[in-house]
Amino acid sequence: MTLVTKPNIPDTDGFYAELLAAHQGLTEAESQALNARLILILANHVGNRGALTEALTLAAKTGAWGQPPATPRDI
């Protein structure tokens, strides 16, 4: 596992506030475009191909929490 999954950002709350501030006043579409640019910029900074694949996999499989519960038919 090359992807860092333990807390790694100093001043977590400060970063989170900065992330929200970057989206302040943007339309939904502008926000999405900003996120897309941000992902590409960060991905280039990471560079490590294995870590990027792990990040993509992790993002795809997380996020179930908070979704409507699966109905029996889905299972």
Binding site for another protein (CB under 8 A): 32-33, 36-37, 39-41, 44
Specify the residue, 9 or 36, whose C-beta has the smaller distance to another protein.
36
Write down the least CB distance from residue 44 to another protein, Å: 4
**Among candidate residues 2, 5, 1, the one with its CA nearest the CA of residue 59:** 5
CB-facing half-sphere around the CA of 24: CA atoms within 13 A? 7
Distance of CA 59 to the CA centre of its chain: 7
**Least distance in angstroms from the C-beta of 30 to another protein:** 11
Residue (41 or 75) nearer to another protein, CB: 41
